[in-house]
A = this chain, B = another copy of it.
Amino acid sequence: MKMIITIIHDEDSHRLLHRLNSEGVMATKLASTGGLLKTGNTTFFIGIEEEKVDFVIGLIKEECQTTKQMSLINPPISNMPEGFMSYPVEVTVGGATIFVIDVDQYLKI
C-alpha cells in the first residue's frame, strides 16, 4: 500500500476528486495554502495499492496539466502613451507536486 500526497491548484481539485471517485480511488481533500504555488491550493491524500500508483499519477497529470494563459500586465513605466498602458504576458497555471510514501500498515474498520 502507498499513500500519494499531492498538492494541486484549487481550480483543479473538484475535477480531480470526481475523476478519482469515478475510477474507484479513495481520496481525502485538505484545505492548504502557501507553498511555491502562490495561488490557493489543495492537498489530497490518496491511499492506493502499489501496482496502481502509476495509474493514479496519470490521472493527476491529465486533470492538473499546466497550461499557458495570456494575462495583461501593467508596465512599470508610468509615463507611456495610452495604448501601451498594459501588455499581454504568458503565465503558467495548473500543475501538481506529487509525493509517493510507503505505507507500513493499512486498515479499514
Contacts and interface: CB of A to CB of B under 8 A. Distances in A.
A45 B109 contact: no
Interface of A is mostly: strand
Interface string A1-38: 11101010000000001000100001111111111100
A28 B36 CA distance: 8
A30 B27 contact: no
The 8 closest A-B pairs by CB, nearest first: A100-B105, A29-B34, A98-B107, A28-B35, A100-B104, A26-B36, A28-B32, A30-B32
25 contacts: A1-B99, A2-B104, A3-B99, A5-B45, A7-B28, A17-B34, A21-B36, A26-B36, A26-B97, A28-B32, A28-B35, A29-B35, A30-B31, A47-B99, A60-B109, A64-B109, A95-B109, A96-B109, A98-B105, A98-B107, A98-B108, A100-B105, A101-B101, A101-B103, A102-B102
